[in-house]
């Protein structure tokens, strides 16, 4: 009799966990996924109908190739689930020519070999009148491969596909602790213990509580939706955008899609990005919560009513450098971290799932993934 109940356990079936489960199951691995709530719940980081997808990701020069890999895997998941998950609308990044947003977008595109178009202020404001108030010193970069990915449908599709390939899924089951043994791991739940060769911990904002990782910080923030004053404003008229605000902060959004109103995300201001506890987070929305988003819409987006028609409290998990934290907790560890999403991981989730599947099976990462390795924070004596 084997001493393992499964080869790999995946803890948390949000964006990163569901995709890891699917990629492990695709490789024929005996995998168990555990989720404390329902699949595609509205408690963690992965709900609210849409997430921006970009192929030229200003946050790091190596994210462009990760996004292209993710896009291919989203297309594969669409095929197996017969569900549209990723809709390309194109997207425009708007900012000062020397800003991190513009320079980083250009660099990520060049690294990944993605073609993007440079737009002058005149071209930008003529093409997208909603951005007419853009500072005349700003420019735009058009990423034709940008669009919108659907979080709930993607998670459901991945879990469904994984189950069809033989994965076991335990929903409404909470992992209470994780222990590394000499040759594997023990994952304790409120319903018993599962022994496996390795565990991928994709617990989102709960990771610091579960593993005692204080550097992975849960942040409370708001999703806000608005209406145009002049009838419908869909993603043709207002495609995905990210716009420079100040101090390298940005706000972002897209037009109406799937019957949902215009979505606009406020810049990461301390008044609307606060450290939280995922178990006791205040999900009520106050006037002060929506003040920043309302102000941004009123000042910067032409023709949109600044009073939100819909709001929802959500969370991200920030890492120290705002890059993902993916791979063995320490060199050789069988506990694989899938965390530090820092508010931009959904678009990459399928590719991250494939990467984490490899990590769980002991594959060495390529040098292109060094910037997401947990070991980057370890100091040498």
The distance of closest approach from Cβ of residue 44 to ligand FAD in the complex, given in angstroms and rounded to an integer, is 2
Angstrom distance (rounded) from CA 203 to CA 192: 18
Neighbours of 90 (CB within 10 A): 16
Angstrom distance (rounded) from CA 47 to CA 50: 8
Q: Does 345 bind ligand FAD (CB under 6 A)?
A: yes
Q: Does 41 bind ligand FAD (CB under 6 A)?
A: yes
The distance of closest approach from Cβ of residue 65 to ligand FAD in the complex, given in angstroms and rounded to an integer, is 15
Contact present, 252 and 148 (Cβ < 8 Å): no
Among 174, 195, 249, 376, binds ligand FAD (CB under 6 A): 174
Nearer to ligand FAD, 125 or 226 (CB): 226
Q: Which residue is nearest to ligand FAD (CB)?
A: 14
- Counting DSSP H helices and E strands in the chain, the numbers are 8, 20
Among 7, 25, 31, 45, binds ligand FAD (CB under 6 A): 45
Angstrom distance (rounded) from CA 31 to CA 7: 6
Among 347, 359, 369, 372, binds ligand FAD (CB under 6 A): 347
Q: Does 261 bind ligand FAD (CB under 6 A)?
A: no
One-character DSSP codes across 43-92: SSSS-SS-EEE-SS-TT-TTHHHHHHHHHHHHHHHHHHHT---EEE--EE
Among 9, 10, 16, 337, binds ligand FAD (CB under 6 A): 16
Pairing verdict, β 168-170 and 274-275: unpaired
Options 80-88, 108-116, 191-199, 339-347: segment touching ligand FAD (CB under 6 A):
339-347
**Bridge-partner residues for 69, per DSSP?**
none
Q: Does 343 bind ligand FAD (CB under 6 A)?
A: yes
Sign of CA dihedral 51, 324, 312, 267: negative
Q: Which of 55, 54, 8, 58 is nearest to 34 (CA)?
A: 8
The distance of closest approach from Cβ of residue 24 to ligand FAD in the complex, given in angstroms and rounded to an integer, is 15
Nearer to ligand FAD, 120 or 286 (CB): 286
> Binding pattern to ligand FAD, positions 197-216, x when CB under 6 A?
-----xxxxx---x------
Q: Does 260 bind ligand FAD (CB under 6 A)?
A: no
Nearer to ligand FAD, 140 or 204 (CB): 204
Among 228, 344, 353, 355, binds ligand FAD (CB under 6 A): 344
DSSP designation for 365: P
Residue given tokens 């990915």 in the structure block: 149
Q: Does 35 bind ligand FAD (CB under 6 A)?
A: yes
**Bridge-partner residues for 37, per DSSP?**
none
> Binding pattern to ligand FAD, positions 316-335, x when CB under 6 A?
x-------------------
Phi, psi of 314 (to 5 degrees): -135, 180
Three-state DSSP class for residue 117: strand
Please report, as ranges, the residues that interact with ligand FAD according to CB under 6 A: 11-17, 34-37, 41, 43-46, 51-52, 174-175, 202-206, 210, 221, 223, 265, 314-316, 341, 343-347
């Amino acid at each position: 009799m084997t001493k393992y109940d499964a080869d790999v356990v995946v803890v948390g079936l949000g964006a990163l966990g569901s995709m890891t489960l699917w990629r492990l199951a695709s490789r024929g691995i005996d995998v168990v996924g555990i989720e404390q709530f329902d699949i595609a719940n509205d408690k963690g980081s992965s709900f609210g109908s849409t997430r921006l997808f970009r192929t030229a990701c200003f946050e790091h020069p190596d994210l462009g190739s990760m996004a292209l890999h993710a896009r291919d895997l989203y297309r594969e998941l669409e095929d197996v689930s017969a569900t549209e998950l990723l809709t390309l609308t194109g997207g425009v990044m708007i900012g000062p020519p020397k800003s991190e947003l513009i320079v980083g977008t250009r660099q990520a595109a060049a690294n990944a070999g993605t073609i993007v178009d440079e737009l002058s202020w005149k071209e930008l404001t003529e093409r997208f009148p909603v951005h007419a108030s853009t500072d005349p010193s700003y420019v735009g970069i058009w990423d034709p491969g940008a669009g919108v990915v659907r979080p709930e449908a993607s998670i459901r599709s991945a879990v469904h596909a994984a189950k069809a390939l033989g994965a076991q899924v335990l929903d409404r089951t909470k992992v209470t602790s994780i222990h590394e043994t000499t040759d594997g791991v023990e994952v304790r739940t409120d319903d018993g213990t599962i022994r496996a060769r390795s565990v991928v911990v994709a617990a989102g904002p709960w990771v610091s509580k579960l593993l005692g990782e204080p550097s992975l910080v849960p942040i409370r923030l708001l999703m806000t939706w608005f209406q145009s004053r002049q009838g419908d404003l869909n993603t043709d008229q207002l495609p995905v955008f990210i716009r420079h605000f100040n101090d390298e902060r940005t706000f972002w959004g897209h037009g109406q899609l799937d019957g949902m109103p215009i979505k606009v995300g406020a810049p990461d201001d301390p008044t609307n990005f606060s450290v939280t506890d995922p178990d006791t987070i205040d999900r009520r929305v106050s006037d002060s919560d929506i003040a920043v988003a309302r102000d941004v819409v009123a000042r910067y987006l032409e023709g949109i009513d600044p009073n939100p028609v819909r709001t929802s409290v959500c969370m991200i998990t920030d890492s120290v450098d705002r890059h993902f934290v993916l791979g063995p907790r320490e060199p050789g560890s069988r506990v694989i971290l899938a965390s530090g999403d820092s508010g931009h991981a959904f678009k990459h989730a399928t590719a991250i799932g494939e990467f984490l599947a490899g990590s769980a099976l002991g594959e060495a990462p390529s040098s292109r993934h060094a910037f997401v390795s947990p070991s980057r924070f370890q100091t040498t004596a």
